[in-house]
Structure formats: C-alpha cells, structure tokens
Amino acid sequence: MADTGKAPEIPAGLQQYDSYATDPKYQKYFTIGWTSALGAFLLFKLAGLFIRRRSKIWAFISSVGLWSLPGLSLTVGQLLVIILYTVGVLACLTTRAKLEENPNRAGFLALAQLPPIFVLGAFKSAPTALAPPGKHAASFLAHFTYEKLSPYHRYAGRVFFLCAAIHGGMWINNHLKYDQQILGAGKETTGVAAFGLVCVLLLSSVKPVRKWAYEVFYIIHILSVPAFLVTISYHTPYARPWVYPPAAFWLGDLVLRMVRGTWVGQVELSVQGDITVVNMPTFTRPIQPGQHVRVSLFIPTLGFRDAWYTPGHPVTVIPTARGAVLSMKGTGGWTRAVSDYARFVSPPSEPKPVPDIEEDCVDKPQGQTASRMTVLALLSAHPTGGVALPRPFASYTDVFCMTGGSGASFALSLARSLRSARRAEVVWCVRSFGSIIPLAPYLARLTQGGANVHITIYVTCLCQPELIPHIPNCDVVLWDGIGDSGRPSVGSLVKQFVGEVDGKEGETSVAILAAGPRSLVAEAGNAVARLRAAGPVVEVGYHGEVFDL
C-alpha cells in the first residue's frame, strides 16, 4: 500500500472550540488558586500565634485591613479578599473563552466554586467544636467562626450565581436564536430546575429575610441545598466530582449539629426591663472567653415558630460559679417573644412600687419586678466562637473592651481573662438604667474579683440614677449625646487607654475588643488602624464582634 504521508492538520484558528477538553483546565487553575491562598493564610495565622510582628511595614499593612469604609459592612481587608476572589473567577471565565458560541466555561466555573462556598458555609461553626484543648488551638480556630466567614460565604455565593446566570442565560439565548426547544430534553430541563433553585437560595439569603425571618432562610437552605446538588448531578456528569465534597461538608455539618445538641433540662428565665436572663445551673461544658451557644427554648404557648426556633438563637455565655448564664435583650422576633412570655405569663415575685419614669426615656423599664419562670431548653453541646486575636488572649498584658447594648454579655464572658490582666477597662454604652439593673450582680462580680478591672457605663438617658445598685470600681456617666453617633468617641477612649498603659514598666501589649452594633465595632476597628499606622510603639491586637446576621 502506498504511503500517502501525514494527514493534514486543521490550523489552530480554524479548529472548533472543544469546551469539554479546555474548560476543565480552568476549573483546576481556579481550585489551585483558592486552595493555595487558603493554605498560605492558615500558615500565616498559625505562625502569628508564636511570632510577634513589630515591624513598621507590618503595622501599616495590618492597619489598612482594619479600616471600615462608610456605607459598607466590610473592612478593607475583607473587601480586598472578595475583590481578589472575583478577579480570579473572572480571569478563569474569560481567558481564551468563546462564551457567545459555547457558554460552558461559566458552568464549569460555577461548579468549581461549590467547594469553597460549602467550606465557608457548612463548617462555619465546626472548628471550635472539634478543637483540641489548649489556648493556642482555641485562639487559632476562633478566626474561622460564623461572624468571620459569613461575609466571604455570601459574596462567593453571589459570584457563583453570576457564573450560573451567564451559563444559563447564554444557553437559553442560543436556543431561542436557533429556534430550539428549551424544556423537554433531560439536560435542558434539569439545568433550568437547578438554576431555579439557585435563584431561590439567592432571594432567601438577602438581609431583610435573614433579619426578620431567619427561620425561613434556614429551612429554605436545608431543603434547597440537597435538591440543587442532586439536580445538578443529573444535569451533567461533569458536576459529580465537584458535588461530592460539598455534599460531604453539608452532611457533616448537619451531623455535627445533631451530635452537639444536648438537653440542658430546666432553666430559669428572669426578665427585667428589656433584658432576659437565662440561668443554667446544670451547664458544665468548658467555655473559652467570648464563646456563644445556640439556644432553643420550648415554650408551647408561643406557637411553633417561636417555641422551637429551628437553628437555635446564638447567645454569649457568661460563666458563673454554678453553671452559666445567658443574657438577651428583647429587640424583636424571638428574643422579644421570650421576654414577653416571661414577663406576662409567669407569676410576679414580690412586686415593688414602680417609680415615675421621665417621658423622654428611651427604654422604660417595665416594672422593677423580676419575673421568673422555668422552661426546658436545648443548647449546643459545645460553645462556638471566641476571641480572635493575633496571639492567645492570655498573652496580652492589658485589655480594653468596648461594648454597646447587648454587647455587655460579651464583656462578662471575659471575666476570668480580665481579672488576670495587668489592667482591664470595660466601657459599656447603653440607653437607659433599665438595662443595667439585671446585669448589675454580674458586673459587681467582675470588679470584685480584681482591683485591676474598671467599668465605665455611659448612659444616654439615666432617668433615675438612685435606682442603680452599687457596683464596685464602676463609674456611671450620663452622656449628653454630643457627637454623630450619640456615644463617646471610641477612638479617643482607645487612644487614652493605650497612652496610659504605654508608660508602665515591662513589656506592654494591649488587646482591644469591641462588641455590639456594627457602627461601634467599625469605629473601634478604625481606631486600632490609626494606632497601628502611627507605628508599633505598643503591640495592639484587635477583635471585633458584630451582633448581626
């Protein structure tokens, strides 16, 4: 047979684009990118537990990351991470891609984002539950709790939706352009169904739904996530390798939630003003400073929605000599329902005359009687969260804790660590004395345990100061509301405290903590950023905890 030579090759410019051979490569590029970045971040945080960084360059870089931009609920550091993530996805999406002819690249990139989304979402409460004993482990894993990972989880989900919308929208456009049937064939039908589930997840995740109907958001996620994973697996076999890890994360999180649930039994509710205190004498779990539990109270008369709050409401744990105490402010929804039930259903104990309250008082205490009742409670067996500082909390010599509203419970949870510090200053901004009275015994115990702990309470509407019980080493200041925020300048208080401890003998390191409304925490973060940018005169660690969804 005659040799006809080598078969002719089609020039690269004329070859048909093979998305199933080319696009999976960019899935791998994206996966290598985000896993490498995550690994580098973990090593950096782990090294920070043992190595002090005092250089001017590091002080400036860390200060930039703490700044909060006006109108945004993100710091500059969080915003940079989100921008880098988005740029990485867009680079993999558009490089040598022909999306108009074949939009599969967007679908492949959407699948590649499932593992990081589920890592950030499913295990947001798992690390501290699995933490080995030791202060270094607790300090390290506190960086990976819900309030730290939630912004990244939400924005990664939005970028995922963008890729899914590009993929689905362009395929539908091509079908309409060439007069092809959209629904009917298995691939197209499952694709539309999967995209519909993605839209349901996105719409149920907007802030108004999370804030006013968190149970709806939670239940929709529990039902829609497995439905989406199954549907996308039927849509294309290329999805299955990217579905198995998220499914394992999701199932592991559900199992961990069930295993961590434990009956605490009967707990006592007492309500005074807008503060509800839950006394748990049988709670014996070890608690790290600043950790919280998720609590469900079984109160049949509230109805199913409020009696059994499906995901459990997060509440900071206040350790006591016997068990622990939870403090909740009835601001709305579940906390308001529990407060109303404890106030109006339980029999009052030794009622006292209620003095006249000024008409302009913001939070009028609804009687000085502490209504008490006993209910059943279900709590997470292992507290989660904690203080996320660059180094272990106990290694700092001085502590400044700025709290607002219900953030006082966060300060009380730090009692043991505050007493062991060389100097600890707790500042609490509150609207009226009605919020001080229920927590006065716990504030008194905090200061009685050590003369180094001082509390300053700024009250915007004091009303009747004679009703405030005596708290050792505590100053109650009537604040006239001067300033844009209606409270004292957090920056001035932080700068004053750091200046006072800087002149003391020996090595000085200051832990700045902030808990409460987002505006207060953002102001505290900006204050620490200014200190770090000025130079590493004193080592300053910062932890902020926003009481928000």
Model confidence at 352, pLDDT cuts 50, 70, 90, reads: very low
Given CA atoms 481, 484, 488, 492 in this order, what sign does their dihedral have?
A: negative
Model confidence at 513, pLDDT cuts 50, 70, 90, reads: very high
Claim to verify: residue 346 and residue 456 sit in the same structural domain: no
pLDDT at 99 exceeding the cut of 90: no
Whether residue 357 lies inside any domain: the answer is no
Claim to verify: residue 306 and residue 341 sit in the same structural domain: yes
Of the residues 258, 290, 319, the one at which a domain ends: 258
Amino acid identity of 526?
Answer: N
Claim to verify: residue 537 and residue 403 sit in the same structural domain: yes
Range scoring the smallest mean pLDDT among 30-44, 62-76, 246-260, 429-443 = 246-260
Of the residues 226, 258, 290, the one at which a domain ends: 258
Claim to verify: residue 244 and residue 336 sit in the same structural domain: no
Q: What span, in angstroms and rounded, lies between the C-alpha atoms of 105 and 12? A: 19
Claim to verify: residue 237 and residue 369 sit in the same structural domain: no
Whether residue 50 lies inside any domain: the answer is yes
Claim to verify: residue 61 and residue 162 sit in the same structural domain: yes
Whether residue 138 lies inside any domain: the answer is yes
Claim to verify: residue 212 and residue 307 sit in the same structural domain: no
Q: What span, in angstroms and rounded, lies between the C-alpha atoms of 143 and 547? A: 16
pLDDT at 127: 54
Model confidence at 542, pLDDT cuts 50, 70, 90, reads: very high
Whether residue 494 lies inside any domain: the answer is yes
For residue range 378-420, list pLDDT tens digits in order: 676 567 778 888 888 888 999 999 998 888 899 999 988 888 8
Model confidence at 65, pLDDT cuts 50, 70, 90, reads: confident
Claim to verify: residue 239 and residue 340 sit in the same structural domain: no
3-state DSSP call for residue 176? Answer: helix
How confident is the prediction for the chain on average, in pLDDT?
Answer: 81
Whether residue 62 lies inside any domain: the answer is yes
Residue written as token pair 């108004």: 208
Q: What's the total number of domains in the chain?
A: 3
**Average pLDDT value for residue range 190-203:** 95
Claim to verify: residue 252 and residue 294 sit in the same structural domain: no
Residues facing residue 475 across a β-bridge: 456
H or E element in which residue 476 lies: strand 474-478
For residue range 469-482, list pLDDT tens digits in order: 788 888 888 776 65
Model confidence at 501, pLDDT cuts 50, 70, 90, reads: confident
pLDDT at 85 exceeding the cut of 50: yes
Whether residue 497 lies inside any domain: the answer is yes
322: DSSP letter: S
What residues have CB less than 8 Å from 31, skipping those under 6 apart? 112, 115
Model confidence at 497, pLDDT cuts 50, 70, 90, reads: very high
Whether residue 160 lies inside any domain: the answer is yes
Residues facing residue 433 across a β-bridge: none
Of the residues 232, 258, 284, the one at which a domain ends: 258
**Average pLDDT value for residue range 439-456:** 85
For residue range 200-256, list pLDDT tens digits in order: 999 999 988 888 887 788 889 989 999 999 999 999 999 999 999 999 988 887 777
Contact 315, 293 (CB under 8 A): yes
Q: 3-class secondary structure for 112-143?
A: HCHHHHHHHHHCCCHHHHCCCCCHHHHHHHHH
**545/32: higher pLDDT:** 32
H or E element in which residue 398 lies: strand 398-404
Q: For residue 328, what are the domain limits?
A: 260-350+362-384
Range scoring the smallest mean pLDDT among 52-56, 87-91, 239-243, 367-371 = 367-371
pLDDT at 390: 85
Claim to verify: residue 329 and residue 210 sit in the same structural domain: no
Q: What span, in angstroms and rounded, lies between the C-alpha atoms of 74 and 521? A: 11
pLDDT at 190: 94
Nearest by Cα to 421 from 447, 383, 386 = 447
Contact 409, 443 (CB under 8 A): no
CATH number at residue 467: 3.40.50.80
Contact 430, 548 (CB under 8 A): no
Burial of 129 (0-12, 13-18, 19+ CB in 10 A): middle
Claim to verify: residue 92 and residue 168 sit in the same structural domain: yes
For the record, the structure tokens of 289 come out as 């400073």
For the record, the structure tokens of 63 come out as 């200060």
Claim to verify: residue 277 and residue 224 sit in the same structural domain: no
For residue range 295-309, list pLDDT tens digits in order: 877 766 555 444 444
For the record, the structure tokens of 74 come out as 């993100």
